[in-house]
Amino acid sequence: IQSNGNNWATSCDFRGNDLYSVQISAELCGGKCAKVQGCTHFTWTQYNGGTCWLKSGAVSKSDAISTSDSTMVCGVVPDGQQGGSGSTIQWNGNNWAMSCDFSGNDLYSAQISAELCGGKCAKVQGCTHFTWTQYNGGTCWLKSGAVSKSDAFSTNDSTMVCGVV
């Protein structure tokens, strides 16, 4: 199994220990696992048009088994990125960061570029923070409520952006 340095690989699987499954794209599976309390690893298959199998328990990359299905993806969530515990997020001076997310509190979403997401939030009444993802070609998730940078959690998706206004 060829791991790509980002804690996931193709043509592999982890047996058992399923928490639950969700119908989402392969690209979103690792980030979903990172958001779910107790999820330590995952497998994505083409089942039902694309299913992310969220899994629990102590596991390492060496526990993955090789499959002949090159569309399958499996991966682990690194310690410190599981269920929002222990942030390793690198914030810049503009109150935003990469590879992070805030859970819940969505006001609404808009299909705009990552660069415009923070400014959009600043203009919307009640928007206090935001997350940008590649969903639908680029989606800014405007969020409300009292929040600080410490409420953000790391994701496995290096394209995600989150920030506070």
Residue predicted with more confidence, 82 or 12:
12
pLDDT > 70 fraction of the chain, expressed in percent and rounded: 86
Mean pLDDT for the chain overall = 84
Name residue, tokens 């400014």. 119
The DSSP line for 25-88 is -HHHHHHHHHHSTTEEEEEEE-GGG-EEEEEESS--GGG-EE-S-TT-EEEEPPTTSSTT-S--
pTM for this entry: 0.50
- Domain 96-164 in the same topology as domain 8-76: yes
pLDDT at 49 over 90: yes
Are the C-beta atoms of residues 72 and 50 closer than 8 Å to each other? no
- What are the boundaries of each domain within the chain? 8-76, 96-164
For domain 96-164, give the CATH number: 3.50.4.10
Could you say which of 3.30.2030.30, 3.30.420.40, 3.50.4.10, 3.40.50.620 is the CATH number of the domain covering 8-76?
3.50.4.10
- Using alpha carbons, select from 124, 129, 73, 76 the residue that is nearest to residue 106: 129
